[in-house]
């Protein structure tokens, strides 16, 4: 469903993504991991049509994202890490706006907003401007806006940001159910525990290059580590964390 | 029918409607910033409307007794077109270029042309409101001008709307054209330059047009100059006269030129610009920050020096933040230099009028009272600029970062704001005073120019401290809405009437050297008192906030 072929993207002297390729078949939830600045968000921006790759191809379903971007974009939902939304609108106005952009019928938009906001516990603030919302409340609105139009492919960039434990659990269950209905999900995160529990397969990117792409159990076995966190640390950072933490706390308490 | 037209133009009608509705809702809705006193009560757009209403009233009055209908139309069209350019450059640039939209809409299935059209229509709605404010008085005055009658407003107003729309379209083309060929950094730099020039041109022309009319008593014969036929405002004037029944060959040519020009602009915008528009917008966000390490040492020296003088970390913090923002925020630079453009344009007008006189000789008993006073009040009027620059230090696109002031243990917020004022004075006002002194020095003896500039500086400090007493926000904690810059221009036009209070002080100060010294010391003492009140009052205001 998601295909990435030899994609490269540079910003000035910085190569954010360097000739990467991977695929995510329909109905799979794939974890996309990497340290800060590794190239995760750039990859997702290319796949969602927000920016163009310098070279290579990416497609969603049968549509090439650069050549047939509108058709490809109709297939996707996206929760950006930036959490950007129009805060001076109310959740109802924002979600109606999103629904209309996907040509949904007005009564269907209303029904979906009502149901989805109730699931997320937002029904009491549905008609309040989002300027005073907590990060978690805005994140819930973003999650609803990513799925309201029933997309085939969902990109989630740190979707648990700001969510409380109950909402996070609800989202994880929801994602599991969605994959069973045939939705394809690319899940970007730093939280290894969640990725390990949620995703059967992971792709790890570091300094713009893919350094691992396999089932979670295979990656752990190949690297002879017990947890995904240890594997991630081994592959992306060779520093001794204990020593570093010790030095850091010394600076703070000086 | 509109849906079919949209379909033919590859515009998604449903998306277009929802985008327009959404953008208007966002632009017009009251904004809540960080803190208690940051809610905007009156939409700044209303201030723009009031400002343009008064400006057009002044221009119309100045034309009433001198002009015939054709000249009247020509001046009003020129004025309205330039004002429209100015407004969009200064206030509504964000209506056309909104890089932030890419993060929210970039992954939605909206084609470039639909998005571009929604932006254009949004701009058109603002432009229509402002054209109404600009055109209402001239439309009525036109009935009473030589050659005018009751049909004038009916014909004039649609053409005025077309003229300002053409102006707006030219800005859009400049913006989007630059966007296509330049990097983000260069684009912003060039835009800053254009804005500063326009502020200068607008203020200069607003003063200059009535003077030209008064001095030369223009007639329509002078408008027959062939070079003038190339100026779009004269085409619109000819088109209005043609429709009103003056069917001459020249007017019919002007009507054709108007229509052809408008159509070419519309077609060009659609065929060339709209297709690549979203891609160009998304590229605006693809830039990396500059390495500022080389400026670190200089900045550190400055801060250490300040701390050794004022012994306040809060003052140093306010100063450092403000100077950094003044150096790096293009939005702020555009506003500051724009604000400096107004007094410079005003000085240009005074030189043109031969009105800059030596304030010392003008204060002798035999000199006339009013010309002497007005000449000196220029010092007060121009020094208002420093208060406007200070006012700008409370707005930022990154206003949300102001949470830091509310969560930090800031004991004396007034000191923090003192740092902001110090940065404004050292980095903007003193350099401007130096420039002011040089310009003055070309007109009056240098020693007098230096003394007048010193008086200008001290008056600016008094005004700044006085205005800062009423500060109720932390720096860079509010968001700017369209129209807020014009609101400050309105303040610039109204405030001088309140500043007549300085007249006796200045008359006394420039009467001889001893009185000058006494006045300077008196003003300096007033500045220290006001500053002390400001620190206490703002600390109280912001602690409660």
Q: In this predicted model, what pLDDT tens digit does every residue of B58-112 receive, in sequence order?
A: 888 877 776 688 888 888 888 888 878 777 776 666 666 676 787 888 889 988 8
Distance from CA of A219 to the nearest CA of B (A): 32
Residue A111 is predicted with a pLDDT of 94
* DSSP reduced 3-state for B425: helix
Spatial distance between the Cα atoms of B283 and B123, rounded to a whole number of angstroms: 22
Inter-residue contact A207 to A171 (CB < 8 Å): no
**Pairing mode, strands A63-64 and A76-79:** unpaired
Would you state the structure tokens that stand for residue A184, as one six-digit string?
A: 């394809």
Spatial distance between the Cα atoms of B73 and A14, rounded to a whole number of angstroms: 56
Inter-residue contact B73 to B240 (CB < 8 Å): yes
Inter-residue contact B321 to B475 (CB < 8 Å): yes
Spatial distance between the Cα atoms of B338 and A94, rounded to a whole number of angstroms: 36
pLDDT band at A252 (very low <50, low <70, confident <90, very high): confident
**Pairing mode, strands A55-60 and A63-64:** antiparallel
Residue B364 is predicted with a pLDDT of 47
Chain B, 287 to 326: residues with Cβ < 8 Å from chain A are: 287-288
Interface-testing mutation among A12, A49, A95, with chain B (most B C-beta atoms within 10 A): A49
Residue A43 is predicted with a pLDDT of 93
Distance from CA of A95 to the nearest CA of B (A): 11
Confirm whether the ipTM is greater than 0.90.
no
Would you state the structure tokens that stand for residue A248, as one six-digit string?
A: 């850091």
Chain A: residue whose CA lies nearest to B15: A101
On chain A, the residues whose CB falls within 8 A of the CB of B106 are: 45, 48-51
Of residues A49, A103, A131, nearest to B106 (C-beta): A49
% chain B with pLDDT above 70: 73
B111 contacts A101? CB cut-off 8 A: no
**Pairing mode, strands A153-157 and A76-79:** parallel
DSSP readout, B439-505? HHHTTS-HHHHHHHHHHHHHHHHHHHHHHHTT--S-TT-B---TTHHHHHHHHHHHGGGGGGGGHHH
Q: What is the mean pLDDT of residues B231-251?
A: 88
Chain A: residue whose CA lies nearest to B16: A101
Q: What is the mean pLDDT of residues B212-222?
A: 53
- The yes-or-no verdict on residue B36 having pLDDT over 50 is no
Spatial distance between the Cα atoms of A128 and A87, rounded to a whole number of angstroms: 10
| Of A35-44, A212-221, B152-161, B208-217, the least confident | B208-217
Distance from CA of A139 to the nearest CA of B (A): 13
SS3 breakdown of chain B: % helix, strand, coil, rounded to 5? 80, 0, 20
On chain B, the residues whose CB falls within 8 A of the CB of A129 are: 29, 32
Measure CA of the first residue to CA of the last residue in chain B; give whole Å: 53
pLDDT band at B545 (very low <50, low <70, confident <90, very high): low
Q: What is the mean pLDDT of residues A18-32?
A: 93
Residue B462 is predicted with a pLDDT of 92
Spatial distance between the Cα atoms of B80 and B132, rounded to a whole number of angstroms: 11
Q: What is the mean pLDDT of residues B206-230?
A: 59
* DSSP reduced 3-state for A211: strand
On chain B, the residues whose CB falls within 8 A of the CB of A146 are: none
Inter-residue contact A202 to A32 (CB < 8 Å): yes
Spatial distance between the Cα atoms of B272 and B157, rounded to a whole number of angstroms: 30
Planar angle of CA B253, B254, B257, nearest 5 degrees: 85
On chain A, the residues whose CB falls within 8 A of the CB of B104 are: 84-86
A156: phi then psi, degrees, rounded to nearest 5: -120, 120
Please give the C-alpha separations between residue B490 and each of A2, B175, B481, in angstroms, as whole numbers. 56, 26, 16
Distance from CA of A100 to the nearest CA of B (A): 7
- The yes-or-no verdict on residue B14 having pLDDT over 70 is yes
Q: What is the mean pLDDT of residues B315-331?
A: 84
- The yes-or-no verdict on residue B40 having pLDDT over 60 is no
Tens of pLDDT, residue by residue over A175-212, are 989 989 999 999 998 888 888 888 889 999 988 999 88
Residue B327 is predicted with a pLDDT of 80
Please give the C-alpha separations between residue A214 and each of A31, B205, B322, in angstroms, as whole numbers. 10, 69, 50
| Of B158-162, B361-365, B412-416, the least confident | B361-365
Average pLDDT in chain B = 78
Please give the C-alpha separations between residue B534 and each of A152, B380, B420, B506, B542, in angstroms, as whole numbers. 60, 20, 13, 24, 12
B22 contacts A89? CB cut-off 8 A: yes
Q: Which residue has the higher pLDDT, B191 or B531?
A: B531
Q: Which residue has the higher pLDDT, B410 or A215?
A: A215
Residue B204 is predicted with a pLDDT of 62
Inter-residue contact B353 to B211 (CB < 8 Å): yes
- The yes-or-no verdict on residue A219 having pLDDT over 90 is no
B32 contacts A132? CB cut-off 8 A: yes
B465: phi then psi, degrees, rounded to nearest 5: -65, -40
* Chain B interface includes A67 (CB < 8 A): no
Number of CB atoms found within 10 A of residue A97's CB: 22
Residue B35 is predicted with a pLDDT of 47
| Of A157-161, A224-228, B255-259, B392-396, the least confident | A224-228
Inter-residue contact B416 to B314 (CB < 8 Å): yes
Q: Which residue has the higher pLDDT, A228 or B135?
A: B135
Would you state the structure tokens that stand for residue A131, as one six-digit string?
A: 């300027």
Residue B95 is predicted with a pLDDT of 64
* Chain A interface includes B286 (CB < 8 A): yes
Of residues B105, B109, B283, nearest to A74 (C-beta): B109
B286 contacts A88? CB cut-off 8 A: no
Spatial distance between the Cα atoms of A128 and A185, rounded to a whole number of angstroms: 31
Distance from CA of B100 to the nearest CA of A (A): 8
| Of A40-54, B13-27, B83-97, B164-178, the least confident | B83-97
| Of A69-78, B350-359, B375-384, the least confident | B375-384
Would you state the structure tokens that stand for residue B292, as one six-digit string?
A: 């500022």
Would you state the structure tokens that stand for residue A126, as one six-digit string?
A: 């549905």
% chain A with pLDDT above 70: 99
- The yes-or-no verdict on residue B422 having pLDDT over 90 is yes
- The yes-or-no verdict on residue B181 having pLDDT over 80 is no
**Pairing mode, strands A14-24 and A2-11:** antiparallel
B22 contacts A97? CB cut-off 8 A: yes
Distance from CA of B41 to the nearest CA of A (A): 15
Of residues A11, A12, A51, nearest to B282 (C-beta): A51
A11 contacts B286? CB cut-off 8 A: yes
Chain A: residue whose CA lies nearest to B33: A131
Inter-residue contact B306 to B300 (CB < 8 Å): no
Inter-residue contact B454 to B448 (CB < 8 Å): no
- The yes-or-no verdict on residue B186 having pLDDT over 90 is no
Of residues A14, A49, A98, nearest to B288 (C-beta): A14
Residue B119 is predicted with a pLDDT of 84
On chain B, the residues whose CB falls within 8 A of the CB of A14 are: 288
Chain A, 83 to 122: residues with Cβ < 8 Å from chain B are: 84-86, 88-89, 93, 97-98, 100-103
- The yes-or-no verdict on residue A4 having pLDDT over 90 is yes
% chain B with pLDDT above 90: 12
Planar angle of CA B202, B207, B210, nearest 5 degrees: 120
- Which residues have C-beta within 8 Å of that of residue B36, sequence separation ≥ 6? B472, B544, B545
Chain B: residue whose CA lies nearest to A75: B109
On chain A, the residues whose CB falls within 8 A of the CB of B482 are: none
* Chain A interface includes B14 (CB < 8 A): yes
Per the rule left: phi > 0, alpha: psi between -120 and 50, beta: everything else, A62 is alpha
Chain B, 84 to 123: residues with Cβ < 8 Å from chain A are: 100, 102-111
Q: A with B: how many residue pairs have Cβ under 8 Å apart?
A: 78
Q: Which residue has the higher pLDDT, B343 or A137?
A: A137
Chain A: residue whose CA lies nearest to B284: A51
Distance from CA of A248 to the nearest CA of B (A): 22
- Which residues have C-beta within 8 Å of that of residue A184, sequence separation ≥ 6? A1, A2, A24, A25, A26, A27, A28, A29, A152, A153, A154
Spatial distance between the Cα atoms of B381 and B345, rounded to a whole number of angstroms: 13
Residue A186 is predicted with a pLDDT of 95
* Chain B interface includes A78 (CB < 8 A): yes
């Amino acid at each position: 469903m998601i295909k990435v072929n030899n994609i490269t993207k540079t910003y000035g002297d910085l190569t954010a993504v360097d000739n990467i390729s991977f695929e995510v078949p329909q109905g799979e939830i794939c974890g996309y991991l990497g340290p800060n600045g590794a190239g995760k968000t750039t990859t997702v921006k290319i796949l969602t049509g927000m920016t163009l790759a310098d070279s290579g191809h990416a497609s969603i379903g049968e549509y090439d994202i650069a050549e047939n971007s509108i058709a490809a974009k109709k297939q996707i939902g996206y929760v950006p890490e930036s959490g950007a939304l129009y805060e001076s609108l109310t959740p109802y106005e924002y979600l109606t706006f999103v629904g209309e952009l996907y040509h949904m019928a007005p009564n269907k938009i209303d029904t979906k907003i009502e149901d989805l906001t109730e699931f997320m516990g937002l029904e009491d603030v549905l008609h309040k401007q989002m300027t005073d919302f907590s990060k978690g409340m805005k994140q819930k609105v973003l999650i609803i806006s990513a799925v309201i139009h029933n997309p085939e492919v969902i990109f989630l960039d740190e979707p648990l940001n700001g969510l409380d434990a109950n909402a996070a659990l609800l989202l994880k269950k929801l994602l599991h159910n969605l994959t069973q209905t045939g939705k394809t999900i690319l899940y970007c995160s730093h939280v290894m525990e969640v990725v390990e529990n949620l995703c059967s397969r992971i792709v790890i990117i570091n300094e713009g290059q893919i350094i691992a792409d396999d089932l979670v159990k295979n990656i752990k076995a190949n690297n002879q580590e017990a947890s995904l966190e240890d594997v991630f640390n081994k592959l992306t950072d060779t520093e001794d964390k204990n020593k570093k933490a010790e030095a850091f706390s010394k600076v703070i308490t000086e | 029918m509109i849906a079919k037209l949209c379909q033919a133009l590859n515009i998604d009608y449903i998306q277009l409607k929802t985008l327009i509705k959404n953008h208007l809702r966002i632009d017009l809705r009251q904004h809540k910033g960080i803190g208690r006193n940051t809610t905007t009560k009156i939409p700044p757009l209303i201030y723009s409307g009031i400002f343009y209403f008064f400006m057009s009233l002044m221009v119309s009055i100045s034309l009433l007794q001198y002009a015939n209908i054709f000249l009247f139309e020509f001046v009003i069209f020129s004025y309205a077109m330039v004002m429209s350019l100015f407004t969009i450059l200064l206030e509504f640039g964000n209506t056309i270029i909104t890089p932030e939209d890419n993060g929210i809409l970039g992954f939605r299935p909206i084609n470039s042309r639909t998005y571009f059209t929604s932006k254009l229509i949004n701009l058109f709605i603002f432009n229509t409101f402002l054209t109404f404010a600009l055109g209402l008085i001239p439309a009525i005055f036109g009935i009473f001008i030589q050659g005018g009658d009751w049909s004038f407003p009916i014909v004039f107003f649609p053409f005025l709307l077309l003229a300002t729309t053409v102006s707006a379209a030219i800005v859009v083309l400049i913006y989007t054209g630059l966007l296509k060929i330049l990097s983000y950094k260069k684009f912003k730099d060039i835009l800053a330059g254009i804005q500063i020039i326009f502020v200068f041109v607008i203020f200069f022309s607003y003063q200059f047009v009535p003077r030209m009319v008064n001095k030369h008593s223009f007639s329509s014969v002078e408008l027959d100059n062939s070079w003038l036929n190339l100026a779009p405002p004269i085409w619109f004037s000819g088109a209005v006269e043609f429709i009103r029944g003056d069917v001459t060959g020249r007017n019919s040519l002007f009507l054709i030129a108007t229509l052809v020009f408008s159509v070419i602009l519309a077609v060009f915008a659609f065929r060339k610009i709209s297709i690549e528009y979203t891609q160009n917008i998304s590229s605006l966000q693809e830039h990396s920050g500059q390495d500022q390490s080389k400026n670190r040492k200089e900045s550190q020296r400055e801060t250490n020096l300040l701390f050794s003088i004022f012994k306040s970390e809060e003052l140093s913090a306010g100063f450092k933040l403000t100077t950094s923002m003044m150096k790096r925020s293009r939005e702020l630079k555009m506003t500051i230099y724009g604000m400096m453009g107004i007094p410079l344009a005003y000085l240009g007008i005074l030189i043109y009028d031969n009105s800059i006189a030596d304030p010392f000789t003008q204060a002798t008993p035999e000199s006339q009272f009013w010309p002497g006073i007005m000449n000196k009040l220029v010092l007060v009027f121009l020094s208002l600029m420093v208060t406007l620059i200070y006012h700008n230090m409370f707005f930022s696109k990154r206003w949300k970062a102001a949470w830091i002031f509310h969560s930090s243990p800031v004991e004396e917020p007034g000191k923090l704001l003192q740092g902001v004022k110090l940065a404004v004075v050292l980095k903007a006002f003193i350099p401007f005073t130096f420039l002011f002194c040089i310009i003055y020095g070309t007109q009056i003896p240098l020693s007098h120019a230096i003394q007048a500039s010193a008086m200008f500086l001290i008056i600016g400090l008094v005004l700044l401290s006085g205005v800062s007493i009423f500060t109720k926000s932390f720096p860079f904690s509010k968001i700017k809405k369209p129209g807020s810059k014009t609101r400050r221009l309105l303040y610039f036009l109204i405030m001088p009437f309140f500043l007549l209070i300085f007249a006796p002080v200045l008359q006394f100060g420039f009467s001889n050297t001893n009185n000058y010294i006494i006045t300077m010391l008196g003003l300096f003492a007033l500045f220290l008192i006001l500053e002390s009140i400001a620190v206490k009052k703002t600390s109280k205001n912001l602690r409660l906030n």
